[in-house]
Amino acid sequence: MGRVTRVVIIGGGPGGYESALVAAQLGAEVVVVDSDGLGGSAVLTDCVPSKTLIATAELMTDLATAPELGIGLVDHTAPASQVEVDLARVNARVLRLAAEQSSDIGRRLEREGVRVVRGRGHLDGPERVVVTGADGETETIEADAVLVATGAAPRTLPTAEPDGERILTWEQVYDLTETPEKLIVVGSGVTGAEFASAYMALGIEVVLVSSRDRVLPGEDADAAEVLEQVLTRRGMAVMNKSRMESVTREGDVVTVRLTDGRSVSGSHCLLALGSIPNTAGLGLESAGIAVDEGGFVKVDRVSRTTARGVYAAGDCTGVLMLASVAAMQGRIAMWHFLGDAVAPLDLKKVSSNVFTAPEIATVGWSQQAVDAGEIVAEAVRLPLAGNPRAKMQGVRDGFVKLFCRPGTGIVVGGVVVGPRASELIHPISIAVAESLTADQLANAFTVYPSNSGSVAEAARRLHHPKV
């Protein structure tokens, strides 16, 4: 009998721990090297904490429609302000949930026989990982395959250094015990938009500083427009075409200066300037692993790096910075290395969501790609306001958009904007993954009344009668 295959994974986030589970299932001897806690940034500082905070924000958003739905609050003109958010309690819950999730992952790995080594790992050639523990002790682990899944960290600038008190990265906001009076969010990508939307729902005055001409420059333009309208209607100051030059603090006041000479002051500033990969000091170069100019590890669609036997997954590859994609890249790497059936990563099947109020969920080909002629597709856009369930719920903002191929009617993409859009995208996601036609999507029963009825109705509108 041959020797058991040894897999060493550097990084315990979704890219790392999900692949550890697959490798263990396929009979490998697996070691996960992790420096900051299992679950990685996804569980400890990014997805899980932010979505837990947003769960509280969602409840506050729902409360704002309470009077319209017949619930009497003391002051009908300002319903949400009658309910007070205790940010210290919210943050304590956020951190507790994240820690519990991290422990759950630890227990699961243990059950599956995965060895977890605490410390910072680096490669010593493509087949050896050296781990340095907190006490400075080192351990060298031999590997038949290595998976690099070290993630990414918030980008900061020398002119906008976080101080952890009033100038904050998204990793530091959960240490706040007092509610900010006025929060300036710099950056209107997904992270900036989500936090701006959530903190406003919690009753905080929010200014969103965006260098582009609209929020969410990377998302569907119609969806971003709806979101910007809703945010401004609810009282957010959205400063478009405003490039931040510096962020400074004097006492309790933070000031964001813009490149055009204007400035805006508040009590706190959240920097959402994107992420940089955690790839420095990993010994990548000496192991023959190529990185791009941004420091991201170059991988192919089965997660192979340029060094034989070394794979990479997740944010350190910059392929698509989502926990779900990190996990899939990691699983694909293990299936590939350990000889299981594997299909290369297909980004056109990834569904994603912006957890603002309303949410924006997307899958498949985008409007941008259709407009640029990258794919020929027909589109239909159906406002949610006409949906009976949405009317009952007092929902007016949002839409369902579907793209299908003109000849075959095969659904190739979609966008949903509305409350719980993250749940409504799934039927479209199935249609895209399985190449279903608009007719097939339309013919599946939906519940009456339901918001998913609009998905079927949009599909119905893409029907071409046989002549």
Ligand X SMILES: Cc1cc2nc3c(=O)[nH]c(=O)nc-3n(C[C@H](O)[C@H](O)[C@H](O)COP(=O)(O)OP(=O)(O)OC[C@H]3O[C@@H](n4cnc5c(N)ncnc54)[C@H](O)[C@@H]3O)c2cc1C
Binding-site sequence positions for FAD: 51, 121, 315
Residue 169 interacts with ligand X (CB under 6 A)?
no
Judged by CB under 6 A, the residue of 46, 219, 220, 228 near ligand X is 46
Question: In sequence order, what DSSP letters do the residues of 297-318 get, joined into one string?
Answer: BP--TT-B-SSTTEEE-GGGGT
The residue type found at 101 is Q
Helix, strand and coil in the chain, % to nearest 5 = 35, 25, 40
11 near ligand X, rule: CB under 6 A: yes
Q: How far is the CB of 173 from ligand X (least distance, A)?
A: 9
Q: What are phi and psi of 134, to 5 degrees?
A: -60, -30
What distance in Å separates the CA atoms of residue 23 and residue 284, rounded to the nearest whole number? 22
Site string for ligand X, 220-259 (x = CB under 6 A): ----------------------------------------
Q: Alpha-carbon dihedral of residues 372, 378, 383, 384, nearest 10 degrees?
A: -110
Q: List the one residue from 30, 141, 307, 326 that touches ligand X (CB under 6 A).
A: 326
Indicate whether 187 belongs to the interface with ligand X (CB under 6 A): no
The 296-325 site mask, x for binding ligand X (CB under 6 A), equals: ------------------xxx----xxxx-
Both ends of the chain: CA-CA distance in Å?
66
Work out which of 19, 41, 52, 56 binds ligand X, going by CB under 6 A: 41
Among 42, 173, 186, 196, binds ligand X (CB under 6 A): 42
How many residues line the site for ligand X (CB under 6 A)? 36
Q: Which stretch binds ligand X (CB under 6 A): 28-36, 229-237, 252-260, 341-349?
A: 28-36
Rounded to whole angstroms, the Cα distance separating 73 from 233 reads 21
CA distance 279 to 276: 9
- Min dist. Cβ of residue 264 to ligand X (A): 22
CA–CA dist 239, 208 (Å, integer): 6
CB of 247 to ligand X, least distance (A): 18
Using rule CB under 6 A, residue 199 touches ligand X: no
Check binding of 9 to ligand X (CB under 6 A). Answer: no
Is the Cβ of residue 318 or residue 414 nearer to ligand X in the bound state?
318
Known binding-site residues for NAD(+) equal 187-194, 274
CA dihedral 111, 115, 121, 123 (to 10 degrees): -120
Measured distance CA(187)–CA(272) in Å, rounded: 5
- The conformation of residue 69, written as its DSSP 8-state character, comes to G
> At its nearest, how many Å lie between ligand X and the CB of residue 283?
9
CA distance 396 to 387: 9
**151, 277, 398, 453: residue in contact with ligand X (rule CB under 6 A):** 151
Binding to ligand X (CB under 6 A) within 387-406 occurs at none
The answer to whether 53 contacts ligand X (rule: CB under 6 A) is no
Smallest CA-to-CA distance from 294 within 280, 308, 306 is with: 280
CB of 76 to ligand X, least distance (A): 34
Whether the CB-CB separation of 115 and 279 falls below 8 Å is answered with no
| Max CA distance (Å), the chain | 77
Q: Which is nearer to ligand X, 79 or 318 (CB)?
A: 318
Interacting residue with ligand X among 278, 387, 437, 452 (CB under 6 A): 278
d(CA 247, CA 161): 7
Interface contacts to ligand X, rule CB under 6 A: 10-16, 33-36, 40-42, 46-47, 50-51, 120-121, 149-152, 170, 191, 278, 282, 314-316, 321-324, 326
